Chain A
Amino acid sequence: MLAFLVSSIRLGMAFLFGSTGETITEKSGHLNLGIPGVMCVGASCGCFAEYLYLSEAGPNANYFLAVFIPIIATMLGGAVMGLIFSFLTVTLRANQNVTGLVLTTFGVGVSDYMIAETGAVYSKGSRFFTSSFPFAEDLGWFGEIFLSHGILIYLAIIIALVSSFVLTKTRVGLNLRAVGENPATADAAGINVSRYRYAATCIGCAIAGLGGLSFIMDYLNGNWEYCIDAIGWLAIALVIFTVWKPSVAIIGSIIFGALYIASSYITGVSFASKEIFKMLPYVVTIIVLVFTSIRNKRENQPPQSLGLSYFREER
């Protein structure tokens, strides 16, 4: 049971990064369906940076650099993907759904190429991400649940809390939400719509990229064998599940993590029925989506101009 919970948390944080990033992006009115691709590219950049650093530093690798360099590389990779997306959708006014899907194709290609070329040699670097507080083991179940994790787990929670604060309590967050709800009004109020959309998308993608890194380096212990795009789609689902609130997503992501791995922990079910259990996260998301739209409470709705581009000249 304890192992189940700990695994749920470790997997959940990969979802949390993705959904926090996507929430920030969606609040600006951008529906970025490229998140799976962004997570793939983020993970590739981070893992590759770690590989380069470790082969350079050899045995003298220091903890701080071994963690810091991949995190920066991941965020840069994610931000570049965000830049491509916003250049096409904001500056060139392309359709967001189509651009997002191409971004996913491209990103999955990049990461598959990286795996095929370098092989899964990342398990060496993974220990830096899974090493935890040295005293966690002495504290029994408490230590196991709260203190036994690697740095990315705590980073995910901190980023989610900070984003939640920025979105709801600051002027920048208010402006961002205005851009997502009604860009024409925001523009009239003197907010630079394009700049907010660019910034929100790039920051969102940088954060989402960390989800890929967390999935590979922490949850899979560096054994990169299959593609992460399924995780990316679930991260998008999590945004809906948590009604666009990063703070709720902290709990939501752990629930998703639990639902995702439940099939391998449940005993007494046939091999085949486990496939039905894997349906759960998606079915739960659909139910939440339907439920929120039927209740039609204003604070639980998607940003009003989600998925729509804004052209000042076409008002």
Chain B
Amino acid sequence: MKKMNFHIVKREPMAWYKSVLVRAAAIVAALLVSAVVITILTGKNPFEVYASMVSGAFGSSLRIWSLLQNTAILLCISLAVTPAFKMKFWNCGAEGQVLISGLATTAVMMFLGDSLPYPVLLLVMLAASVLAGVIWAVIPAFFKAMWNTNETLFTLMMNYVAIQFVAFFLKYFVKSGSGVLAPMPEHGLPVLAGQSYLLNIIIVVALTVLVYIYLKKTKQGYEISVVGESENTAKYIGINVRKVVVRTLVVSGALCGIAGLLLVGGTNHTISTTTVDGRGFTAIMVSWLGKFNPVYMVMTSFLIVFLQRGASQVSTDFRLPSAISDIVTGIILFFIIGCEFFLQYKILSAKNRKEND
């Protein structure tokens, strides 16, 4: 067999400033590669492109609000998937869970909006959307707990069932037959201090703190990490793994339900099949890049939303196809994913290794 002239070992946890430095280096490298790609594809000066990116995200107070709002929604969905991920339950179904709870919210707004008093309506909206999210999340969890059915594939399929439900709803209940439901802002969540997104942001900040406490400080949070680390250990110390799986997915689904409520009740006031717009999948990256820690996830979700908002500004400013934003986001995420390796491992050459031994 060929002799390896290098060797990979797990390193001690890095000092925080070093790990920040590695990540920053990865982002700089990613921006350089993206700059080359942009120049090849479009012939534009990449620095002008990046300047327009920053202006797209921070250029006016409207843009900043929209940046914060999008960060809040993405963060909310990421918080929802995190308990499940910590348990190594790969919930790829946040897209569907959020969409179906958005549908429940829409239905309540549409059919009960005029007949119920406003405070009762808000409670019914909350209950309906949480219930819908929980149902969508618990079905795969139940089968996982009972028969170890593969949850990644199950939750992926549930997304499309949810999308078709929404498509059916729009065609069946929209009277005009256009399949587009007119927004119903009069039945939406209350507007605070004249800022329509403020309530969403406050709710998500509160949820971030709650999820942090739930995961780090409670017995249930501890049980989740034990099941995630080793199912056998969990069984040995008397944790009922099936119960933990189903209970955690109830939490996960309920948070997705709140995300659906914020998205439909607090933002769009209507629904379409693309309301969630891939955030259910982006949330998986946010949660993983943030190491399942709600505080880091604030930063990762902000970074991703900044990239997306900025890139969409680039495509308007330079008349480029909007798809360029997906390409740049993809490249940057590749680098961020790749740099995790250098945070966790170090490469020793054969010579070095001898000295270490």
Residues on A lying within 8 angstroms of B by beta carbon are 31, 33, 84, 87-88, 91-95, 97-99, 101-113, 115-117, 230, 233, 236-237, 240, 270-273, 275-276, 278-279, 282-283, 285-286, 289-290, 293-294, 296, 302, 306-307, 313-314
Write the nearest CB–CB distance from A276 to chain B, whole angstroms: 5
Binds A, one of B103-111, B151-159, B261-269: B151-159
Write the nearest CB–CB distance from B313 to chain A, whole angstroms: 16
- Name the residue of chain A whose CB is nearest to the CB of B344: A93
- Name the residue of chain A whose CB is nearest to the CB of B143: A290
Q: Which residues of the partner chain B approach A230 to less than 8 Å between Cβ atoms?
A: 160
Write the nearest CB–CB distance from A71 to chain B, whole angstroms: 24
Known: A33-B92, A275-B164, A282-B160. A94 touches B326 (CB 8 A): no
Interface centre among A31, A102, A236, A302 (most CB of B within 10 A): A102
- State the CA gap A272–B170 with chains docked (Å): 8
- Name the residue of chain B whose CB is nearest to the CB of A85: B334
Known: A97-B284, A109-B330. A279 touches B160 (CB 8 A): yes
Q: With an 8 A cutoff between CB atoms, is B288 at the interface?
A: yes
- State the CA gap A104–B149 with chains docked (Å): 24
- Name the residue of chain B whose CB is nearest to the CB of A306: B150
Q: Are B330 and A102 in contact (CB under 8 A)?
A: yes
Q: Are A112 and B323 in contact (CB under 8 A)?
A: yes
Residues on B lying within 8 angstroms of A by beta carbon are 8-10, 41, 90, 92, 143, 147-150, 152-154, 156-158, 160-161, 164-165, 167-168, 171-172, 177, 278, 281-282, 284-285, 288-289, 321-327, 329-331, 333-334, 337-338, 340-341, 344-345
Offer 8 A-B interface pairs, CB within 8 angstroms, sorted by A.
A87-B338, A94-B340, A101-B285, A106-B330, A106-B333, A107-B330, A116-B321, A290-B149
Q: Are A101 and B157 in contact (CB under 8 A)?
A: no
Q: Are B161 and A279 in contact (CB under 8 A)?
A: yes
Q: Are A279 and B281 in contact (CB under 8 A)?
A: no
Q: Are A106 and B326 in contact (CB under 8 A)?
A: yes
Q: Are B168 and A272 in contact (CB under 8 A)?
A: yes
Write the nearest CB–CB distance from B245 to chain A, whole angstroms: 14
- State the CA gap A105–B331 with chains docked (Å): 10
- State the CA gap A93–B329 with chains docked (Å): 21
Write the nearest CB–CB distance from A193 to chain B, whole angstroms: 13
Known: A237-B157, A282-B161, A293-B147. A102 touches B152 (CB 8 A): no
- Starting from the known contacts A102-B333, A109-B329, 5 additional A-B residue pairs (CB-CB under 8 Å) come to A87-B338, A115-B321, A275-B171, A289-B149, A293-B149
Q: Which residues of the partner chain A approach B147 to less than 8 Å between Cβ atoms?
A: 290, 293-294, 296
Q: Which residues of the partner chain B approach A307 to less than 8 Å between Cβ atoms?
A: 90, 152
Q: Are B337 and A272 in contact (CB under 8 A)?
A: no
Q: Are B152 and A31 in contact (CB under 8 A)?
A: yes
